[in-house]
Amino acid sequence: MNVKKRWKSLLTVLASASLLLAACGDEGEKASSSKTYNIGVTQIAEHPSLNAAYDGFKKALEDAGIEAEYDYQIAQGDNSINTTIATNLVSANVDLIFANSTGSAQAALSATQDIPIVFTSVTDAVGAELVESMEKPGGNVTGTIDSHPDAIANTMKFLKEELGATKVGMVFNSGEQNSRSQVDSVKELLEDMDMTVVEASVATTADVKQATESLIGKVDSMYIITDNTVVSALESVISVANENKIPVMVGEFDSVKRGGLGAYGFEYFDIGYEAGQMAVKILKGESKPADIPVQVPQKLKLIMNKETADTIGVDIKDEWKAEMSE
């Protein structure tokens, strides 16, 4: 075979090999894009705000074209069940854990330092020892928090300046790090506002009504934070407060729909969606949890319940620029 023929044969072989490699690459890309991820979901309790956050999380993955199967488990407000759920999800070797509450995230982190964890519905991620800092979480955990820096300040200012309140009753589960953190933040804020907090602690939802009743005669307003135990029995609080014409400001919009007078807040769907966007980056290998800053809610507004306002004799003023709850 002469030199020209040999070169021609070699070029033919190389061209064929290139086509084969390209075809393999295409197949590999298709396989990667069509992968179905297994997502473990651990949620402390069943209530609308947490459910909305979960819906937002799923929508973010759907919008990004991520195929996912969800192992969705609820702890019924029981931290021992939280631990069991986390252990089971780790044993199942899921691709990522979505932890929908502080306790859920803490249990997941105790169970694994390897599987990525994305949380939401957490108030103080640093205080709960989920991350090293908001800017640089470190480890295998990141997410979105359910506390806007101005929400509590705006709420307390509203209670004092618009409703004349000075003694704020707070019913909460002192066993929840999330809740203790919020109550302490309120107490610290009120030191400079000539207002005081009167605490009523509960352990279960069955304690909520009695705890609320214990505040009657001691307070002229109430503030119900995003405490899973109390929010699950919010109607008990509203019933007692309305009967005694006591305004109840709440920590999130769903609680306004259920009878709270008002809330400075955000949509839980949105913080769930933002957490989902983080999960997409992690699943695609674009970022690691350690490098994704923890994010605060992006929007803050006042929502009020007109029916509740009428019941307790509060006139909603135009200058409050409040939106009415549906």
**Residue 78 maps to which CATH number?**
3.40.50.2300
**194 and 312 housed in the same domain:** yes
φ, ψ at 47 (rounded to 5°): -155, 155
Same domain, residue pair 189 and 96: no
- The answer on 279 and 132 residing in a single domain is yes
Does any domain span residue 1? no
In this prediction, residue 252 has a pLDDT band, given cuts at 50, 70 and 90, of confident
User: In the numeric block, which tokens belong to residue 316?
Assistant: 């909603």
Q: Is 6 domain-assigned? A: no
Query: Looking at the structure, do residues 215 and 229 belong to the same domain, yes or no?
Result: yes
pTM of the full structure: 0.67
For residue 142, is pLDDT > 90?
yes
The mean per-residue pLDDT over the stretch 142-162 comes to 94
pLDDT of residue 2: 53
Considering the chain, what percentage of its residues have pLDDT values greater than 70?
A: 90
Which segment of 69-83, 174-188, 246-260 scores lowest on mean pLDDT?
174-188
In a domain, 106, yes or no: yes
Percent of the chain exceeding pLDDT 90 equals: 78
pLDDT band of residue 3 (cuts 50, 70, 90) is very low
Q: What was the pLDDT predicted at 19?
A: 45
User: Is residue 72 within a helix (H) or strand (E), and if so which, with residue range?
Assistant: strand 67-74
The answer to whether residue 25 scores a pLDDT higher than 80 is no
If asked whether residues 130 and 227 sit together in one domain, one would say: no
Q: Classify the phi-psi angles of 121: left when phi > 0, otherwise alpha if psi is within -120 to 50, otherwise beta.
A: left
Residues 320 and 202 reside in one and the same domain: yes
The pLDDT of residue 256 is above 70: yes
Stronger pLDDT, 45 or 27, i.e. the higher one? 45
Cα–Cα distance measured from residue 159 to residue 137, given in angstroms and rounded to the nearest whole number: 35
Q: Do 313 and 180 share a structural domain?
A: yes
What average pLDDT does range 270-286 have in this prediction? 97
Residue 47's pLDDT band, with cuts at 50, 70 and 90, is confident
317 and 210 fall within a common domain: yes
Reply yes or no on whether the pLDDT at 296 is more than 90. Answer: yes
Instruction: Tell me, yes or no, whether 124 lies in a domain.
Output: yes
pLDDT at 10 over 80: no
Q: What is the mean pLDDT of residues 149-164?
A: 94
Report if residue 27 sits inside a domain.
no
pLDDT of residue 1: 52
| Alpha helix segments (H runs only) across the chain | 3-33, 48-63, 79-91, 102-111, 151-163, 177-190, 208-213, 228-231, 234-243, 253-257, 268-283, 306-312
Is 68 in the same domain as 206? Answer: no
* Residues 188, 95 within the same domain: no
> How many Å apart are CA 282 and CA 292, to the nearest integer?
9
Asked, for residue 258, whether it belongs to a domain, the answer is: yes
140 and 168 belong to one structural domain:
no
Average pLDDT value over all residues in the chain? 90
- How large is the average pLDDT for residues 98-108? 97
Cβ(96)–Cβ(117) below 8 Å: yes
What's the token pair of residue 256?
Answer: 């306004």
Number of domains the chain contains? 2
Instruction: Out of 24-33, 38-47, 135-144, pick the least confident.
Output: 24-33
Asked if the structure places residue 12 within a domain, the reply is no
Mean pLDDT for the stretch of residues 262-288: 95
121 and 55 in a common domain: yes
Is 30 inside a domain boundary? no
- The range of the structural domain enclosing residue 199 comes to 151-265+301-324
At 8, the pLDDT band (50, 70, 90 cuts) reads low
For the cut 50, the answer to whether the pLDDT of residue 21 exceeds it is no
